[in-house]
Chains A and B, each alone.
Chain A
Amino acid sequence: MSQFDASATASAVELAPAPPGRRRATRRAGGDRPRRARRTSVFWLSAPLILIAVTVVVLPWTGLLHDPHQQDLGNPLAPPAVLSGGEWSHPLGTDKLGQDVLARLVEGGRLTLLIGLVGALVAIGPGTLVGVLAGYCRGWVDVVVSRVIDAQLALPFILIALAVIASQGSSLPILFLVLALTGWAPCARVTRSVAMTVRERQFVLGLRAAGASEVRIVLRHVVPNLAGTIVALGTLQVGTAILVESALSFLGLGIVPPDISWGAMLASGQDVLSRAWWVAAFPGLAITVVVLLVNLLGDALLTHHDPRKRRR
Protein backbone atom coordinates (compact mmCIF):
# COMPACT_ATOMS: atom_id res chain seq x y z
CA MET A 1 0.00 0.00 0.00
CA SER A 2 2.83 2.32 0.76
CA GLN A 3 3.77 2.45 -2.87
CA PHE A 4 0.59 4.42 -3.51
CA ASP A 5 1.71 7.06 -1.05
CA ALA A 6 5.18 7.01 -2.49
CA SER A 7 3.99 7.50 -6.05
CA ALA A 8 1.65 10.28 -4.97
CA THR A 9 4.50 12.06 -3.20
CA ALA A 10 6.89 11.55 -6.07
CA SER A 11 4.60 13.10 -8.63
CA ALA A 12 3.52 15.78 -6.16
CA VAL A 13 7.07 16.92 -5.60
CA GLU A 14 7.21 17.90 -9.24
CA LEU A 15 4.25 20.17 -8.59
CA ALA A 16 6.49 22.71 -6.90
CA PRO A 17 6.92 25.64 -9.29
CA ALA A 18 10.08 25.64 -11.32
CA PRO A 19 12.72 28.24 -10.47
CA PRO A 20 11.82 31.66 -11.90
CA GLY A 21 14.39 31.51 -14.66
CA ARG A 22 13.09 28.27 -16.05
CA ARG A 23 9.53 29.39 -15.71
CA ARG A 24 10.11 32.50 -17.70
CA ALA A 25 11.68 30.45 -20.44
CA THR A 26 8.61 28.24 -20.72
CA ARG A 27 6.36 31.27 -20.70
CA ARG A 28 8.14 32.71 -23.68
CA ALA A 29 8.05 29.40 -25.45
CA GLY A 30 4.31 28.85 -24.83
CA GLY A 31 2.20 30.44 -27.54
CA ASP A 32 -1.52 30.16 -28.10
CA ARG A 33 -1.72 26.61 -29.32
CA PRO A 34 -0.42 24.70 -26.30
CA ARG A 35 -2.76 26.75 -24.11
CA ARG A 36 -5.80 25.68 -26.07
CA ALA A 37 -4.62 22.07 -26.00
CA ARG A 38 -4.32 22.22 -22.24
CA ARG A 39 -7.76 23.69 -21.80
CA THR A 40 -9.37 21.00 -23.94
CA SER A 41 -7.45 18.28 -22.12
CA VAL A 42 -8.96 19.49 -18.85
CA PHE A 43 -12.37 19.27 -20.47
CA TRP A 44 -11.86 15.82 -21.97
CA LEU A 45 -10.59 14.47 -18.68
CA SER A 46 -13.24 15.95 -16.44
CA ALA A 47 -16.17 15.15 -18.76
CA PRO A 48 -16.01 11.34 -18.35
CA LEU A 49 -15.55 11.72 -14.61
CA ILE A 50 -18.65 13.86 -14.34
CA LEU A 51 -20.47 11.40 -16.56
CA ILE A 52 -19.50 8.52 -14.26
CA ALA A 53 -20.55 10.48 -11.18
CA VAL A 54 -23.92 11.43 -12.69
CA THR A 55 -24.49 7.86 -13.83
CA VAL A 56 -23.94 6.30 -10.43
CA VAL A 57 -26.16 8.87 -8.77
CA VAL A 58 -29.03 8.87 -11.26
CA LEU A 59 -29.15 5.33 -12.61
CA PRO A 60 -30.50 3.60 -9.46
CA TRP A 61 -33.53 5.93 -9.50
CA THR A 62 -34.53 5.00 -13.00
CA GLY A 63 -35.64 1.52 -11.94
CA LEU A 64 -33.75 -0.08 -14.84
CA LEU A 65 -31.35 -1.87 -12.53
CA HIS A 66 -31.86 -4.77 -10.21
CA ASP A 67 -31.83 -4.21 -6.48
CA PRO A 68 -28.10 -4.51 -5.74
CA HIS A 69 -28.85 -6.45 -2.55
CA GLN A 70 -31.34 -8.85 -4.05
CA GLN A 71 -29.92 -12.37 -3.92
CA ASP A 72 -30.78 -15.11 -6.39
CA LEU A 73 -29.10 -18.29 -5.16
CA GLY A 74 -30.49 -20.18 -8.13
CA ASN A 75 -28.42 -18.11 -10.54
CA PRO A 76 -24.95 -17.61 -9.06
CA LEU A 77 -21.93 -16.55 -11.12
CA ALA A 78 -23.89 -15.97 -14.29
CA PRO A 79 -21.50 -14.69 -16.96
CA PRO A 80 -21.89 -11.27 -18.63
CA ALA A 81 -24.47 -11.03 -21.40
CA VAL A 82 -21.96 -11.00 -24.24
CA LEU A 83 -20.50 -14.36 -23.21
CA SER A 84 -22.13 -17.68 -23.92
CA GLY A 85 -24.62 -18.54 -21.20
CA GLY A 86 -25.10 -14.89 -20.31
CA GLU A 87 -28.43 -13.14 -20.28
CA TRP A 88 -29.29 -9.49 -20.86
CA SER A 89 -31.18 -9.41 -17.59
CA HIS A 90 -27.74 -9.37 -15.96
CA PRO A 91 -25.54 -7.44 -18.46
CA LEU A 92 -22.38 -7.84 -16.40
CA GLY A 93 -23.30 -11.18 -14.86
CA THR A 94 -23.95 -12.06 -11.22
CA ASP A 95 -21.75 -12.79 -8.21
CA LYS A 96 -21.74 -15.91 -6.06
CA LEU A 97 -24.95 -14.88 -4.30
CA GLY A 98 -26.67 -14.21 -7.61
CA GLN A 99 -26.56 -10.43 -7.10
CA ASP A 100 -26.45 -8.31 -10.25
CA VAL A 101 -22.87 -7.06 -10.84
CA LEU A 102 -23.95 -3.99 -12.80
CA ALA A 103 -26.34 -2.84 -10.08
CA ARG A 104 -23.67 -3.41 -7.45
CA LEU A 105 -21.09 -1.60 -9.57
CA VAL A 106 -23.33 1.47 -9.77
CA GLU A 107 -24.27 1.31 -6.10
CA GLY A 108 -20.65 0.77 -5.08
CA GLY A 109 -19.58 3.65 -7.31
CA ARG A 110 -21.60 6.10 -5.25
CA LEU A 111 -19.81 5.18 -2.06
CA THR A 112 -16.42 4.91 -3.72
CA LEU A 113 -16.68 8.34 -5.34
CA LEU A 114 -17.92 9.83 -2.08
CA ILE A 115 -14.95 8.31 -0.29
CA GLY A 116 -12.62 9.67 -2.95
CA LEU A 117 -14.02 13.18 -2.66
CA VAL A 118 -14.38 13.45 1.10
CA GLY A 119 -11.19 11.46 1.65
CA ALA A 120 -9.28 13.99 -0.45
CA LEU A 121 -10.80 16.95 1.38
CA VAL A 122 -10.01 15.63 4.86
CA ALA A 123 -6.39 15.07 3.82
CA ILE A 124 -5.90 18.29 1.81
CA GLY A 125 -7.48 20.60 4.40
CA PRO A 126 -5.26 19.91 7.41
CA GLY A 127 -2.28 19.10 5.17
CA THR A 128 -2.41 22.49 3.46
CA LEU A 129 -2.96 24.33 6.72
CA VAL A 130 0.00 22.70 8.42
CA GLY A 131 2.21 22.91 5.33
CA VAL A 132 1.60 26.61 4.72
CA LEU A 133 2.11 27.36 8.39
CA ALA A 134 5.43 25.52 8.46
CA GLY A 135 6.65 26.85 5.14
CA TYR A 136 5.77 30.43 5.89
CA CYS A 137 6.69 30.67 9.57
CA ARG A 138 9.88 28.61 9.33
CA GLY A 139 11.77 28.51 12.64
CA TRP A 140 10.74 26.04 15.32
CA VAL A 141 7.25 25.61 13.83
CA ASP A 142 8.86 24.30 10.67
CA VAL A 143 11.25 22.05 12.55
CA VAL A 144 8.43 20.48 14.58
CA VAL A 145 6.10 20.07 11.60
CA SER A 146 8.82 18.65 9.37
CA ARG A 147 9.77 16.05 11.95
CA VAL A 148 6.14 15.06 12.44
CA ILE A 149 5.74 14.74 8.67
CA ASP A 150 8.84 12.56 8.48
CA ALA A 151 7.60 10.42 11.35
CA GLN A 152 4.19 10.13 9.73
CA LEU A 153 5.65 9.07 6.40
CA ALA A 154 7.88 6.54 8.12
CA LEU A 155 4.88 4.76 9.63
CA PRO A 156 3.49 2.11 7.30
CA PHE A 157 0.05 3.09 6.19
CA ILE A 158 -1.38 -0.33 6.93
CA LEU A 159 -0.17 -0.13 10.54
CA ILE A 160 -2.05 3.10 11.18
CA ALA A 161 -5.14 1.76 9.47
CA LEU A 162 -5.05 -1.49 11.47
CA ALA A 163 -4.51 0.34 14.75
CA VAL A 164 -7.34 2.79 14.21
CA ILE A 165 -9.81 0.31 12.78
CA ALA A 166 -9.03 -2.39 15.35
CA SER A 167 -9.68 0.00 18.21
CA GLN A 168 -12.55 1.99 16.73
CA GLY A 169 -14.29 -0.54 14.52
CA SER A 170 -14.97 -0.12 10.85
CA SER A 171 -17.29 2.64 9.71
CA LEU A 172 -17.34 5.44 7.18
CA PRO A 173 -16.24 8.19 9.63
CA ILE A 174 -13.40 5.96 10.82
CA LEU A 175 -12.37 5.38 7.21
CA PHE A 176 -12.21 9.14 6.69
CA LEU A 177 -10.13 9.44 9.86
CA VAL A 178 -7.68 6.90 8.46
CA LEU A 179 -7.56 8.75 5.14
CA ALA A 180 -6.92 12.04 6.93
CA LEU A 181 -4.22 10.53 9.14
CA THR A 182 -2.36 8.99 6.24
CA GLY A 183 -3.02 11.65 3.59
CA TRP A 184 -2.15 14.92 5.29
CA ALA A 185 1.61 14.37 5.42
CA PRO A 186 2.40 14.26 1.69
CA CYS A 187 0.14 17.30 1.16
CA ALA A 188 1.80 19.17 3.99
CA ARG A 189 5.22 18.40 2.60
CA VAL A 190 4.42 19.73 -0.86
CA THR A 191 2.53 22.84 0.28
CA ARG A 192 5.33 23.56 2.74
CA SER A 193 7.94 23.61 0.01
CA VAL A 194 5.82 25.77 -2.29
CA ALA A 195 4.95 28.16 0.55
CA MET A 196 8.68 28.47 1.23
CA THR A 197 9.39 29.55 -2.32
CA VAL A 198 6.49 32.01 -2.40
CA ARG A 199 7.63 33.45 0.92
CA GLU A 200 11.02 34.28 -0.54
CA ARG A 201 9.54 36.14 -3.48
CA GLN A 202 10.23 39.83 -3.35
CA PHE A 203 6.62 40.90 -3.57
CA VAL A 204 6.17 39.56 -0.05
CA LEU A 205 8.86 41.99 1.14
CA GLY A 206 7.20 44.76 -0.84
CA LEU A 207 3.87 44.08 0.84
CA ARG A 208 5.52 44.05 4.22
CA ALA A 209 7.06 47.41 3.38
CA ALA A 210 3.57 48.67 2.59
CA GLY A 211 2.50 47.66 6.08
CA ALA A 212 0.64 44.45 5.26
CA SER A 213 0.24 42.03 8.16
CA GLU A 214 1.62 38.50 7.96
CA VAL A 215 -1.88 37.02 8.18
CA ARG A 216 -2.91 39.12 5.20
CA ILE A 217 0.15 38.13 3.19
CA VAL A 218 -0.52 34.46 3.84
CA LEU A 219 -4.25 34.54 3.12
CA ARG A 220 -4.26 36.97 0.22
CA HIS A 221 -0.99 36.17 -1.49
CA VAL A 222 0.63 32.93 -0.41
CA VAL A 223 -2.48 30.73 -0.47
CA PRO A 224 -3.76 32.06 -3.84
CA ASN A 225 -0.34 31.41 -5.31
CA LEU A 226 -0.62 27.87 -3.97
CA ALA A 227 -4.08 27.33 -5.42
CA GLY A 228 -2.87 25.47 -8.50
CA THR A 229 -0.78 23.13 -6.40
CA ILE A 230 -3.62 22.53 -3.96
CA VAL A 231 -6.10 21.72 -6.72
CA ALA A 232 -3.65 19.34 -8.34
CA LEU A 233 -2.80 17.72 -5.02
CA GLY A 234 -6.51 17.38 -4.31
CA THR A 235 -7.21 15.46 -7.49
CA LEU A 236 -4.24 13.18 -6.90
CA GLN A 237 -5.53 12.61 -3.39
CA VAL A 238 -8.94 11.57 -4.75
CA GLY A 239 -7.20 8.77 -6.59
CA THR A 240 -5.19 7.82 -3.54
CA ALA A 241 -8.28 7.78 -1.31
CA ILE A 242 -10.10 5.46 -3.71
CA LEU A 243 -7.12 3.13 -3.82
CA VAL A 244 -6.75 3.19 -0.04
CA GLU A 245 -10.41 2.36 0.42
CA SER A 246 -10.13 -0.47 -2.09
CA ALA A 247 -7.09 -1.89 -0.35
CA LEU A 248 -8.74 -1.68 3.06
CA SER A 249 -11.98 -3.19 1.83
CA PHE A 250 -10.00 -5.91 0.11
CA LEU A 251 -8.47 -6.76 3.48
CA GLY A 252 -11.88 -6.63 5.10
CA LEU A 253 -11.04 -3.45 7.02
CA GLY A 254 -12.99 -0.94 5.01
CA ILE A 255 -16.54 -1.14 3.81
CA VAL A 256 -18.44 -4.11 5.25
CA PRO A 257 -21.64 -5.65 3.89
CA PRO A 258 -24.36 -4.68 3.31
CA ASP A 259 -22.61 -1.50 2.13
CA ILE A 260 -20.99 -1.81 -1.27
CA SER A 261 -17.85 -0.25 -2.61
CA TRP A 262 -15.65 -1.16 -5.54
CA GLY A 263 -12.94 -2.33 -3.20
CA ALA A 264 -15.38 -4.55 -1.31
CA MET A 265 -16.61 -6.03 -4.61
CA LEU A 266 -13.03 -6.71 -5.61
CA ALA A 267 -12.51 -8.58 -2.33
CA SER A 268 -15.68 -10.63 -2.71
CA GLY A 269 -14.64 -11.62 -6.22
CA GLN A 270 -11.17 -12.89 -5.39
CA ASP A 271 -12.06 -16.44 -4.32
CA VAL A 272 -14.09 -17.07 -7.47
CA LEU A 273 -11.60 -15.36 -9.77
CA SER A 274 -10.69 -18.58 -11.63
CA ARG A 275 -14.32 -19.47 -12.32
CA ALA A 276 -15.95 -16.04 -12.67
CA TRP A 277 -13.47 -13.29 -13.48
CA TRP A 278 -16.20 -10.73 -14.07
CA VAL A 279 -17.09 -10.38 -10.40
CA ALA A 280 -13.73 -8.81 -9.61
CA ALA A 281 -12.71 -7.52 -13.04
CA PHE A 282 -15.43 -4.88 -13.50
CA PRO A 283 -14.94 -3.09 -10.17
CA GLY A 284 -11.18 -3.39 -10.72
CA LEU A 285 -11.54 -1.83 -14.15
CA ALA A 286 -13.77 0.93 -12.72
CA ILE A 287 -11.17 1.76 -10.06
CA THR A 288 -8.39 1.85 -12.64
CA VAL A 289 -10.29 4.08 -15.05
CA VAL A 290 -11.47 6.56 -12.40
CA VAL A 291 -8.09 6.84 -10.67
CA LEU A 292 -6.30 7.24 -13.98
CA LEU A 293 -8.73 9.94 -15.14
CA VAL A 294 -8.49 11.77 -11.85
CA ASN A 295 -4.69 11.72 -11.85
CA LEU A 296 -4.48 12.92 -15.45
CA LEU A 297 -6.97 15.64 -14.62
CA GLY A 298 -4.78 16.69 -11.71
CA ASP A 299 -1.78 17.03 -13.99
CA ALA A 300 -3.79 18.96 -16.56
CA LEU A 301 -5.23 21.29 -13.92
CA LEU A 302 -1.80 22.10 -12.59
CA THR A 303 -0.59 23.37 -15.93
CA HIS A 304 -3.93 25.01 -16.65
CA HIS A 305 -4.23 26.81 -13.33
CA ASP A 306 -1.62 29.47 -13.86
CA PRO A 307 -2.39 33.17 -14.33
CA ARG A 308 0.26 33.30 -17.01
CA LYS A 309 -1.98 31.15 -19.17
CA ARG A 310 -5.32 32.50 -18.04
CA ARG A 311 -5.74 35.39 -20.41
CA ARG A 312 -3.57 37.49 -22.57
Chain B
Amino acid sequence: MANTLEQGTAAGSGRRPGTPPGDGGTGPVLEITDLVIEHRRERSREMFRAVDGVSLAIGAGETVGVVGESGSGKTTLAMAATGLGATGSGGLRLLGRDLRALRSRELRALRPEVQVVFQDPHGSLDPRQSVRSGLRELRGLQPERTSWIDDEALLEQVRLAPELLDRYPHQLSGGQAQRVCIARALVMRPRLIVADEPTSGLDVSVQADVLELLRASQRTAGASMLFISHDLAVVRSICQQVHVMFRGKVVESGPVDQVFTDPQDPYTRRLIEAMPGARWRARR
Protein backbone atom coordinates (compact mmCIF):
# COMPACT_ATOMS: atom_id res chain seq x y z
CA MET B 1 0.00 0.00 0.00
CA ALA B 2 0.98 3.63 -0.38
CA ASN B 3 3.64 4.69 1.99
CA THR B 4 3.48 8.45 2.18
CA LEU B 5 0.67 10.66 3.22
CA GLU B 6 0.33 12.27 -0.21
CA GLN B 7 -0.10 8.94 -1.94
CA GLY B 8 -2.40 7.85 0.80
CA THR B 9 -4.58 10.85 0.12
CA ALA B 10 -4.66 10.15 -3.57
CA ALA B 11 -5.84 6.64 -2.88
CA GLY B 12 -8.20 7.95 -0.23
CA SER B 13 -9.97 10.44 -2.47
CA GLY B 14 -11.95 7.49 -3.74
CA ARG B 15 -13.63 5.22 -1.25
CA ARG B 16 -11.29 4.28 1.54
CA PRO B 17 -11.09 0.79 2.91
CA GLY B 18 -13.42 0.50 5.84
CA THR B 19 -15.63 3.35 4.75
CA PRO B 20 -19.21 2.32 5.37
CA PRO B 21 -21.28 1.87 2.21
CA GLY B 22 -23.98 4.40 1.48
CA ASP B 23 -21.63 7.29 2.05
CA GLY B 24 -21.18 9.17 -1.18
CA GLY B 25 -18.45 11.33 0.30
CA THR B 26 -20.18 14.45 -0.97
CA GLY B 27 -22.41 15.32 1.97
CA PRO B 28 -21.14 16.91 5.16
CA VAL B 29 -18.83 14.76 7.25
CA LEU B 30 -20.57 15.84 10.41
CA GLU B 31 -24.03 17.32 10.59
CA ILE B 32 -25.47 18.47 13.88
CA THR B 33 -28.96 19.96 13.98
CA ASP B 34 -30.58 21.41 17.05
CA LEU B 35 -28.56 19.25 19.42
CA VAL B 36 -29.53 19.32 23.08
CA ILE B 37 -27.45 17.56 25.71
CA GLU B 38 -28.42 17.63 29.34
CA HIS B 39 -26.45 16.54 32.36
CA ARG B 40 -27.94 15.74 35.70
CA ARG B 41 -26.49 18.03 38.31
CA GLU B 42 -24.68 16.27 41.10
CA ARG B 43 -26.96 15.38 44.00
CA SER B 44 -30.06 16.97 42.54
CA ARG B 45 -32.84 16.25 40.12
CA GLU B 46 -32.18 19.46 38.28
CA MET B 47 -31.00 19.07 34.70
CA PHE B 48 -28.29 21.24 33.31
CA ARG B 49 -28.24 22.00 29.60
CA ALA B 50 -24.63 21.74 28.55
CA VAL B 51 -25.51 22.02 24.87
CA ASP B 52 -28.69 23.87 24.01
CA GLY B 53 -29.93 23.69 20.45
CA VAL B 54 -26.64 23.76 18.59
CA SER B 55 -26.50 23.24 14.84
CA LEU B 56 -23.38 22.98 12.76
CA ALA B 57 -22.10 21.18 9.71
CA ILE B 58 -18.58 20.28 8.64
CA GLY B 59 -17.90 19.62 4.98
CA ALA B 60 -15.15 17.39 3.62
CA GLY B 61 -11.72 18.89 4.23
CA GLU B 62 -13.15 21.80 6.15
CA THR B 63 -11.94 23.09 9.51
CA VAL B 64 -14.63 24.40 11.80
CA GLY B 65 -13.81 26.09 15.06
CA VAL B 66 -15.87 26.27 18.21
CA VAL B 67 -14.86 28.97 20.68
CA GLY B 68 -16.19 29.83 24.06
CA GLU B 69 -15.15 30.13 27.65
CA SER B 70 -14.83 27.09 29.86
CA GLY B 71 -18.19 25.62 30.79
CA SER B 72 -19.81 26.79 27.59
CA GLY B 73 -20.43 23.23 26.41
CA LYS B 74 -17.63 22.98 23.85
CA THR B 75 -16.22 19.69 25.06
CA THR B 76 -19.65 18.13 25.55
CA LEU B 77 -20.37 19.04 21.95
CA ALA B 78 -17.09 17.54 20.79
CA MET B 79 -17.67 14.29 22.66
CA ALA B 80 -21.14 14.00 21.18
CA ALA B 81 -19.72 14.52 17.70
CA THR B 82 -17.37 11.57 18.19
CA GLY B 83 -20.12 9.35 19.54
CA LEU B 84 -17.94 8.76 22.60
CA GLY B 85 -19.93 10.86 25.04
CA ALA B 86 -23.56 11.60 25.73
CA THR B 87 -25.41 12.13 22.46
CA GLY B 88 -28.51 13.88 23.83
CA SER B 89 -31.38 14.65 21.48
CA GLY B 90 -31.54 16.33 18.10
CA GLY B 91 -29.91 15.49 14.79
CA LEU B 92 -26.45 13.97 14.93
CA ARG B 93 -25.23 12.52 11.66
CA LEU B 94 -21.71 11.34 11.01
CA LEU B 95 -20.86 10.56 7.39
CA GLY B 96 -24.57 10.64 6.66
CA ARG B 97 -25.44 8.08 9.33
CA ASP B 98 -27.50 8.80 12.39
CA LEU B 99 -25.20 8.06 15.33
CA ARG B 100 -28.04 7.13 17.64
CA ALA B 101 -29.67 4.68 15.25
CA LEU B 102 -26.50 2.60 15.02
CA ARG B 103 -26.13 -0.62 16.87
CA SER B 104 -23.04 -0.87 19.04
CA ARG B 105 -21.19 -3.01 16.53
CA GLU B 106 -21.88 -0.59 13.71
CA LEU B 107 -20.87 2.30 15.92
CA ARG B 108 -17.58 0.62 16.70
CA ALA B 109 -16.94 0.11 13.00
CA LEU B 110 -17.66 3.79 12.36
CA ARG B 111 -15.57 5.13 15.22
CA PRO B 112 -12.14 5.04 13.58
CA GLU B 113 -13.51 7.58 11.07
CA VAL B 114 -13.38 10.13 13.88
CA GLN B 115 -10.21 10.55 15.89
CA VAL B 116 -9.76 12.81 18.86
CA VAL B 117 -6.78 14.86 20.00
CA PHE B 118 -7.21 15.89 23.61
CA GLN B 119 -5.92 18.76 25.68
CA ASP B 120 -3.72 16.71 28.00
CA PRO B 121 -1.35 14.66 25.82
CA HIS B 122 -0.04 12.62 28.73
CA GLY B 123 -3.54 11.65 29.81
CA SER B 124 -4.24 10.47 26.26
CA LEU B 125 -1.52 7.84 26.35
CA ASP B 126 -1.48 4.71 28.48
CA PRO B 127 1.49 5.23 30.85
CA ARG B 128 2.32 1.52 30.60
CA GLN B 129 2.71 1.47 26.83
CA SER B 130 5.67 2.60 24.81
CA VAL B 131 4.91 4.60 21.68
CA ARG B 132 5.67 1.55 19.56
CA SER B 133 3.51 -0.91 21.47
CA GLY B 134 0.67 1.61 21.51
CA LEU B 135 0.84 1.92 17.74
CA ARG B 136 1.09 -1.85 17.43
CA GLU B 137 -2.13 -2.15 19.38
CA LEU B 138 -3.89 0.34 17.08
CA ARG B 139 -2.69 -1.62 14.07
CA GLY B 140 -4.02 -4.80 15.62
CA LEU B 141 -7.39 -3.15 16.09
CA GLN B 142 -7.64 -1.78 12.53
CA PRO B 143 -5.22 -3.79 10.38
CA GLU B 144 -6.52 -2.62 6.98
CA ARG B 145 -6.95 0.99 7.89
CA THR B 146 -3.49 1.43 9.38
CA SER B 147 -1.35 -0.54 6.92
CA TRP B 148 -0.69 2.48 4.68
CA ILE B 149 2.29 3.72 6.64
CA ASP B 150 4.95 2.19 8.91
CA ASP B 151 5.85 3.48 12.35
CA GLU B 152 9.02 5.32 11.34
CA ALA B 153 7.37 7.14 8.45
CA LEU B 154 4.42 7.98 10.65
CA LEU B 155 6.66 9.57 13.26
CA GLU B 156 8.39 11.46 10.51
CA GLN B 157 5.00 12.82 9.46
CA VAL B 158 4.59 14.39 12.88
CA ARG B 159 8.26 15.43 12.89
CA LEU B 160 9.42 13.11 15.63
CA ALA B 161 12.65 11.15 15.62
CA PRO B 162 12.16 7.37 15.23
CA GLU B 163 14.16 6.84 18.45
CA LEU B 164 11.10 8.04 20.35
CA LEU B 165 9.25 4.86 19.36
CA ASP B 166 10.68 3.05 22.36
CA ARG B 167 9.93 5.80 24.82
CA TYR B 168 7.20 5.66 27.43
CA PRO B 169 4.81 8.60 27.75
CA HIS B 170 6.50 9.95 30.86
CA GLN B 171 9.74 10.16 28.90
CA LEU B 172 8.17 12.49 26.35
CA SER B 173 7.77 16.23 26.65
CA GLY B 174 4.28 17.68 26.36
CA GLY B 175 4.88 18.70 22.75
CA GLN B 176 6.32 15.30 21.84
CA ALA B 177 3.45 13.48 23.53
CA GLN B 178 0.93 15.63 21.67
CA ARG B 179 2.68 14.81 18.39
CA VAL B 180 2.42 11.13 19.27
CA CYS B 181 -1.30 11.65 19.90
CA ILE B 182 -1.64 13.31 16.50
CA ALA B 183 0.25 10.42 14.92
CA ARG B 184 -2.08 7.95 16.62
CA ALA B 185 -5.03 9.85 15.18
CA LEU B 186 -3.50 10.08 11.70
CA VAL B 187 -2.64 6.41 11.44
CA MET B 188 -6.37 5.66 11.41
CA ARG B 189 -6.84 7.89 8.36
CA PRO B 190 -9.93 9.49 9.88
CA ARG B 191 -12.48 11.51 7.96
CA LEU B 192 -12.87 13.83 10.91
CA ILE B 193 -10.36 14.94 13.52
CA VAL B 194 -11.82 16.40 16.68
CA ALA B 195 -9.21 18.54 18.40
CA ASP B 196 -10.31 19.49 21.88
CA GLU B 197 -8.05 22.33 23.05
CA PRO B 198 -5.05 20.52 21.57
CA THR B 199 -2.55 23.25 22.40
CA SER B 200 -3.86 24.57 25.70
CA GLY B 201 -1.84 22.14 27.79
CA LEU B 202 1.42 22.91 26.03
CA ASP B 203 4.15 25.46 26.54
CA VAL B 204 3.68 28.57 24.46
CA SER B 205 6.88 27.81 22.57
CA VAL B 206 5.55 24.52 21.18
CA GLN B 207 1.94 25.58 20.71
CA ALA B 208 2.59 27.12 17.31
CA ASP B 209 4.52 24.06 16.11
CA VAL B 210 1.80 21.63 17.12
CA LEU B 211 -0.86 23.85 15.60
CA GLU B 212 1.04 24.07 12.34
CA LEU B 213 1.50 20.31 12.34
CA LEU B 214 -2.18 19.75 12.96
CA ARG B 215 -3.11 22.07 10.12
CA ALA B 216 -0.62 20.53 7.71
CA SER B 217 -1.49 16.93 8.46
CA GLN B 218 -5.20 17.62 8.33
CA ARG B 219 -4.74 19.19 4.93
CA THR B 220 -2.56 16.42 3.49
CA ALA B 221 -4.75 13.69 4.95
CA GLY B 222 -7.82 15.36 3.51
CA ALA B 223 -9.68 15.06 6.78
CA SER B 224 -12.12 17.53 8.20
CA MET B 225 -11.50 19.03 11.58
CA LEU B 226 -13.63 20.19 14.46
CA PHE B 227 -11.38 22.50 16.43
CA ILE B 228 -12.40 23.35 19.97
CA SER B 229 -10.61 26.18 21.70
CA HIS B 230 -10.98 29.13 23.99
CA ASP B 231 -8.13 30.84 22.18
CA LEU B 232 -9.53 33.12 19.51
CA ALA B 233 -6.19 33.81 17.86
CA VAL B 234 -5.61 30.10 17.40
CA VAL B 235 -9.06 29.55 15.95
CA ARG B 236 -8.60 32.45 13.61
CA SER B 237 -5.35 31.06 12.28
CA ILE B 238 -6.60 27.53 11.63
CA CYS B 239 -10.34 27.55 10.91
CA GLN B 240 -12.51 28.57 7.99
CA GLN B 241 -15.78 28.59 9.87
CA VAL B 242 -16.27 29.49 13.50
CA HIS B 243 -19.08 29.06 16.00
CA VAL B 244 -19.05 31.09 19.17
CA MET B 245 -20.65 29.27 22.10
CA PHE B 246 -21.95 30.86 25.25
CA ARG B 247 -23.76 28.89 27.94
CA GLY B 248 -24.57 25.99 25.66
CA LYS B 249 -25.88 28.09 22.80
CA VAL B 250 -24.22 29.18 19.59
CA VAL B 251 -24.47 32.95 19.73
CA GLU B 252 -22.71 33.66 16.49
CA SER B 253 -21.35 31.70 13.57
CA GLY B 254 -19.94 32.31 10.15
CA PRO B 255 -16.69 32.54 8.21
CA VAL B 256 -13.76 33.30 10.51
CA ASP B 257 -12.80 36.65 9.01
CA GLN B 258 -16.35 37.94 9.06
CA VAL B 259 -16.91 36.98 12.67
CA PHE B 260 -13.63 38.50 13.76
CA THR B 261 -13.78 41.73 11.81
CA ASP B 262 -17.48 42.37 12.17
CA PRO B 263 -18.86 40.60 15.23
CA GLN B 264 -22.62 40.95 15.60
CA ASP B 265 -23.22 39.47 19.01
CA PRO B 266 -22.19 41.46 22.10
CA TYR B 267 -20.60 38.38 23.67
CA THR B 268 -18.46 37.78 20.61
CA ARG B 269 -17.45 41.41 20.64
CA ARG B 270 -16.42 41.15 24.26
CA LEU B 271 -14.41 38.01 23.55
CA ILE B 272 -12.56 39.64 20.68
CA GLU B 273 -11.81 42.75 22.70
CA ALA B 274 -10.39 40.57 25.43
CA MET B 275 -7.87 39.05 23.00
CA PRO B 276 -4.31 40.01 23.78
CA GLY B 277 -3.17 42.59 21.26
CA ALA B 278 -6.71 43.16 20.04
CA ARG B 279 -6.40 46.94 19.89
CA TRP B 280 -3.17 46.76 18.00
CA ARG B 281 -4.65 44.35 15.53
CA ALA B 282 -7.75 46.48 15.05
CA ARG B 283 -5.67 49.54 14.24
CA ARG B 284 -3.76 47.57 11.67
Contacts and interface: CB of A to CB of B under 8 A. Distances in A.
Question: Are A and B bound to each other?
Answer: yes
A202 B120 contact: yes
B116 A205 contact: yes
Interface stretch (A109-117, A129-137, A210-218): A210-218
A310 B170 CA distance: 11
Contact of A220 (B109, B137, B188): B137
Interface in B173-204: 181, 184, 188
Given A211-B109, A307-B170, A308-B170, A206 B124 contact: yes
A191 B94 CA distance: 37
Nearest to A225: B128
User: Which of A203, A210, A225, A311 has its CB near the most chain B CB atoms (within 10 A)?
Assistant: A210
Contact of B108 (A24, A202, A206, A211): A211
A205 B123 CA distance: 10
A27 B84 contact: no
A36 interface: no
A61 to B, nearest CB: 42
B248 interface: no
Interface residues of B, number: 29
Interface string B246-268: 00000000000000000000000
A221 interface: yes
A209 interface: yes
A83 B115 CA distance: 76
A212 B107 CA distance: 11
A202 B114 CA distance: 15
Contacts of B122: 20, 24
A307 B84 CA distance: 28
Given A206-B184, A220-B137, A211 B112 contact: yes
B82 interface: yes
Given A307-B128, A308-B170, A312-B171, A208 B84 contact: yes
B215 interface: no
Contacts of B168: 307-308, 310-311
A34 interface: no
18 contacts: A20-B120, A202-B118, A202-B120, A203-B123, A205-B82, A205-B84, A206-B116, A206-B124, A206-B181, A209-B111, A209-B116, A210-B184, A211-B112, A220-B137, A221-B128, A224-B128, A307-B168, A307-B170
Interface of B: 79, 82, 84, 108-109, 111-112, 114-116, 118, 120, 122-128, 137-138, 141-142, 168, 170-171, 181, 184, 188
Closest 3 pairs between A and B when the two form their complex, measured CB to CB: A308-B170, A202-B123, A202-B124
